[in-house]
Structure 1
Amino acid sequence: MIRKTAGLVLSSIRYKDTSIIVKIFTRELGLKSYLVNGVRSMGKGSKMALYQPLTLLDLVVYNKENSGLQRISDAKLQRAHQRIPFDFSRTSIALFMTEVINRSIYENYQNESLFDFLTESVIILDQGEALLTHFPLVFLIEKAKFLGFSPEDAEGFLLESVHQPFSDQELPQILDYLERLLSDKYKCCDKVPVGLRRKLLDHLLDFYSQHMENSSSFKSLVVIRQVLE
């Protein structure tokens, strides 16, 4: 069956000489893997640029039930990124977002509300409307809501965690910061010490690991900590 859907590219791997297998989180069909032939061939006709992480696409796809690997009939760029590919901080955040998404959803997982949130987040990151030092934290906090394990309030992010990394002196400030992130989201512009922001990032990632099957360390953590400076 042929279906039209919006899609968010998450990753791709090489397949044979000129092809790739690309993972795309689609709005209507969920997370799918697609075989794209000839996309790595040299020349003007190459469409490899369409399948970079966090690229937003309009797709026409073949959707066969009980088939692990699907095919794409047509793929068009929904919007071209203006800043993400050319700004180190935004590129780093994009890679971090991709890793978090890849590790928290599974093949065929479908959630239109999550897709809409991810699309909005990518556009905000690319347009420069958010203060980047807060962006990864807001992304983790907001994404947890769509995955079903977000606490009801700021205090819950501490009480519902196995580990407690903050000192008694830090707790009032971190709770106030969490409340601000929850209320202001990507518009948050608070001035918070870098050490506290990094500590909160580590805590949120640990919080995610407690709710996901894959608890190994995040590969992009070293780079994303630099963005929080």
Structure 2
Amino acid sequence: MYNSTKAIVLSKVKYGDNDLIVKCYTETDGLVSYFLRGVLNSKAKRKQLAYYQLLGILEIIEYSKANSELKFIREVKPLGHFHSLHSNVIKGSVVMFLAEMLSSVLREEEQNSQLFQYLETSINWLEQEDHFSNFHLLFLLNLTKFLGFYPETTNIGDATSFDLETGRFVIKSNSRYVIEGENFHILKALLGINFDVLNDIKINANQRQSFLKMLLLYYQLHLGNFRNPRSLEIFNQVFHT
């Protein structure tokens, strides 16, 4: 039985000499891994490799086989034409970093249309936008809505700090994971905004790197087995030079 779905590419791994396993987040089934048999040694199939670039958005006709946890692709075509995502070196580093983050934190094997729509809209915004220095910060912050630990804003008006451990704005806390100062004010500025007004938030390179470090700690505190992406060092070198 065949099924048609949109899919966002999160990772791809060579399997054997000629095969590829591509992990995608799909509109109909959440996280799915596809087995691409012989794609590396077939001239006809090799032309499709360009479709499977990180964070590429595809339309896939898929099918399953008995006794296989992986799915297979009968037909594939790209949705939209992404140029800057993979030709711009700085955007490319953002894509590599965020794809690894998503591959690590998304584990749902069921439909979540709101999450898929968020990912699709965000990727399209990044492709079209020339000023994207703070994109990854807002992207990761908003992603916590779907992961279950978006900051609780009940006391945001009176708060003087934010407790990363509880995810709450507080006046006083004995937690070792309380943030104040610049990171606290940047967090407040980013909450509740969308990408269209993101460039109104002025953050310099040092502040951006500090806030990202804080966000990754926030993920680690709320996702027990989370580890910083291996691409983080390259991302920091490219993005903050």
Partner of 2:210: 199
Map residues 3-18 of structure 1 onto 2, 5 A cutoff: 3-18=3-18
Q: Is the 8 A contact 2:60 2:77 kept in 1?
A: yes
Partner of 1:208: 219
Structure 1 residues not aligned, in runs of 5+: none
What is the percent sequence identity of the aligned residues? 29
Q: Is the 8 A contact 2:59 2:79 kept in 1?
A: yes
- Does the alignment pair 1:164 with 2:173? no
| Deviation of 1:107 (Å) | 5.9
Residues 66-89 of structure 1, C-alpha deviations (whole Å, 9 max, x = no match): 741111111111112120111111
Residues 164-196 of structure 1, C-alpha deviations (whole Å, 9 max, x = no match): 375xxxx34433322221233323222223222
Partner of 1:140: 140
Partner of 2:103: 102
Residues 85-117 of structure 1, C-alpha deviations (whole Å, 9 max, x = no match): 111110011011111111111262432111111
1:183 match: secondary structure: coil
| More displaced 10-residue stretch of structure 1: 35-44 or 150-159 | 150-159
Take 1:176 and 1:36, find their aligned partners in 2: how far apart are those partners? 47
Map residues 2-81 of structure 1 onto 2, 5 A cutoff: 2-41=2-41, 43=43, 45-46=45-46, 47-63=48-64, 67-81=68-82
Counterpart amino acid of 1:208? Y
| Deviation of 1:59 (Å) | 0.9
Take 2:41 and 2:67, find their aligned partners in 1: how far apart are those partners? 30
Query: What is the aligned residue count?
Result: 224
Counterpart amino acid of 2:80? R
Q: Is the 8 A contact 1:59 1:72 kept in 2?
A: yes
CA-based RMSD: 2.5
Q: Is the 8 A contact 1:7 1:56 kept in 2?
A: yes
Q: Is the 8 A contact 2:11 2:22 kept in 1?
A: yes
Take 2:212 and 2:74, find their aligned partners in 1: how far apart are those partners? 40
Take 2:176 and 2:43, find their aligned partners in 1: how far apart are those partners? 53
| More displaced 10-residue stretch of structure 1: 97-106 or 191-200 | 191-200
Q: Is the 8 A contact 2:8 2:24 kept in 1?
A: yes
Partner of 1:178: 187
2:34 match: secondary structure: strand
Residues 30-60 of structure 1, C-alpha deviations (whole Å, 9 max, x = no match): 1111111222135355211111211110011
| More displaced 10-residue stretch of structure 1: 142-151 or 107-116 | 107-116
Take 1:202 and 1:30, find their aligned partners in 2: how far apart are those partners? 28
Residues 30, 178 of structure 1: CA spacing in aligned structure 2 closer, same or farther, 3 A cutoff? Answer: same
Residues 66, 101 of structure 1: CA spacing in aligned structure 2 closer, same or farther, 3 A cutoff? Answer: farther
1:149 match: secondary structure: coil
| More displaced 10-residue stretch of structure 1: 20-29 or 98-107 | 98-107
Take 1:30 and 1:66, find their aligned partners in 2: how far apart are those partners? 20
Take 2:109 and 2:206, find their aligned partners in 1: how far apart are those partners? 39
TM-score by length of 1: 0.87
Counterpart amino acid of 1:158? F
Counterpart amino acid of 1:188? L
Partner of 2:236: 225
Partner of 2:198: 188
Q: Is the 8 A contact 1:32 1:107 kept in 2?
A: no
| More displaced 10-residue stretch of structure 1: 58-67 or 180-189 | 58-67
